Structures are given as C-alpha cells and as structure tokens.
Amino acid sequence: MDVFYSGSTLGIRAKGKMLEKLRTFFRFAANREWISKSPVSPDLKPPIGSSRAANKVPFTDEQLADIIKACHDSQGLEA
C-alpha cells in the first residue's frame, strides 16, 4: 500500500482524499472480516497542505468590480 500511495501522481488535495478513501474502504473490509487487518499503515500521512481549502473564488476583485459595473450599466443604475 505504501508503494501504491507514494507512486501516485495526483495533486496534494486529491492524494489526501485518496488516502482517506483507502482507509475507509479497508476499515469497512476489516470490520466485515473480509480481511484480517487493513493494509494501510497508520503512520502513512496525507501530504502537507492537503487539508487546506481550495481557492474557490473564480474571479479577481477587479473582475468582480467590472461585472458589477456592467450589471448596473445594463439596468441604468449608478455604481
């Protein structure tokens, strides 16, 4: 499992999510006694920065100001 995880070329957030899903799946399999124990070692840590929220703002402040100005101009309002 360590070789599989360390060989991943995903980004840091995707790699962190993948580790979370692997742990969840193997915990489920171990609880159902399909496997004796999880192959995901507890010392395997997600990459640094993987829990940081993604920047979800698609526009810069200048672009937002232009959009608001365009909306006001199209409705004949003052900015």
Residue-averaged pLDDT of the chain? 83
Tell me, what's the pLDDT at 24?
92
User: What are the domain boundaries of the chain?
Assistant: 2-74
Q: What is the pTM of this model?
A: 0.58
Tell me, what's the pLDDT at 48?
74
Tell me, what's the pLDDT at 50?
73
φ, ψ (nearest 5 deg) of residue 41: -70, 145
Rg of the chain in Å (alpha carbons)? 23
Name the pLDDT band for 51 (thresholds 50, 70, 90): confident
Is the distance from CB of 78 to CB of 40 less than 8 angstroms?
Answer: no
Name the pLDDT band for 75 (thresholds 50, 70, 90): confident
CA angle 5, 9, 15 (to 5 degrees): 55
Under 8 Å CB-to-CB from 69, ≥6 apart: which residues?
A: 79
